[in-house]
């Protein structure tokens, strides 16, 4: 028993040391990524539902904060699938406050045009029109949203990517405005938490945000603001999901857009 106890203590010390080293290296990495993203940029995070910002994008929001980005949020629904829209809007503002996004930079679209419903296909042109208007009015030079997989495959998530892809392919984004999309991974990687880091380091070709221990606590606090959504399986999600600690993103390119459009045409 003494040997087992000693091994546990050694393992705990090694894990603590690994996290300490990682926290230090991640802060150094943030300075390196400043040159890639541009420190002080006006960034717009585009989500479909209240809780997306914490459940999927917390590493990105907190990572951009290190780079002194001014992050705004455009959420395309109030999350009224179970008639909890008013509650969820309040929870979203609380979560954003934890993540460092003030209420003045949070826009929630609450109308029947974009229902929180995976069975409803949002109109791409309408989504694109609103997104473009918000981008132009607020001088946005970096847009962040889901990729074609939408992380969970939710049709509302995918609709946002379709709108961004359409604007990009038509050259409608303001000059100098870039687009980053959040990489969707398979189910196994999705629930490996920090253990997914080696794969993320090897396969991320754009931007990689990995939270420090202190930032992970903030991400979890932000997610806990969404009390109406904290069912048992979401509590497990908070503990196991890589998206609570790691975000891999890549810049939208003309090649990717062309490939997506070609694949869509073949279907």
pLDDT of residue 203: 86
Is 14 a residue whose pLDDT tops 60?
A: no
Reported in sequence order, the residue ranges of the chain that DSSP labels E, i.e. its strands, are 42-47, 70-75, 106-108, 142-146, 178-182, 207-210, 246-251
pLDDT of residue 221: 98
Tell me the pLDDT tens digit for each residue of 173-187: 999 999 999 999 999
Average pLDDT of span 114-130: 96
Q: So where are the chain's domains?
A: 41-266
Tell me the pLDDT tens digit for each residue of 126-153: 999 999 999 999 999 999 999 999 999 9
Entry pTM: 0.86
Is 121 a residue whose pLDDT tops 50?
A: yes
Closest C-alpha to 28, from 67, 70, 61, 71: 67
The number of C-alpha atoms within 13 Å of 99 and in the hemisphere containing its C-beta is: 38
Average pLDDT of span 204-213: 92
- Domain 41-266: give its CATH code: 3.40.50.10320
């Amino acid at each position: 028993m003494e040997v087992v106890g000693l091994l546990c203590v050694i393992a705990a010390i090694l894990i603590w040391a690994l996290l300490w080293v990682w926290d230090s290296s991640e802060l150094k990495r943030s300075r390196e990524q400043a040159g890639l993203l541009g420190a002080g940029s006006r960034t717009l995070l585009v989500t479909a539902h209240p809780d997306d910002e914490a459940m999927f994008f917390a590493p990105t929001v907190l990572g951009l904060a290190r780079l002194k980005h001014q992050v705004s949020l455009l959420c395309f629904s109030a999350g009224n699938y179970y008639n909890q829209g008013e509650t969820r809007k309040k929870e979203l503002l609380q979560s954003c406050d934890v993540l460092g996004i003030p209420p003045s930079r949070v826009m929630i679209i609450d109308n029947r045009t974009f229902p929180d419903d995976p069975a409803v296909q949002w109109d791409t042109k309408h989504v694109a029109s609103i997104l473009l208007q918000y981008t132009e009015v607020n001088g946005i030079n970096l847009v962040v949203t889901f990729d074609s997989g939408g992380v969970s495959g939710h049709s509302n998530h995918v609709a946002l990517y379709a709108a961004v892809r359409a604007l990009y392919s038509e050259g409608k984004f303001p000059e100098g405005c870039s687009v980053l999309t959040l990489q969707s991974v398979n189910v196994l990687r999705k629930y490996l938490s920090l253990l997914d880091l080696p794969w993320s380091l090897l396969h991320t070709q754009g931007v990689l945000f990995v939270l420090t221990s202190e930032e992970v606590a903030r991400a979890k606090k932000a997610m806990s603001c969404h009390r109406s959504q904290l069912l048992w399986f979401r509590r497990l999600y908070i503990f196991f999901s890589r998206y609570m600690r790691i975000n891999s993103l890549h810049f939208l390119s003309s090649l990717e857009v062309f490939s997506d459009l070609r694949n869509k045409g073949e279907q």
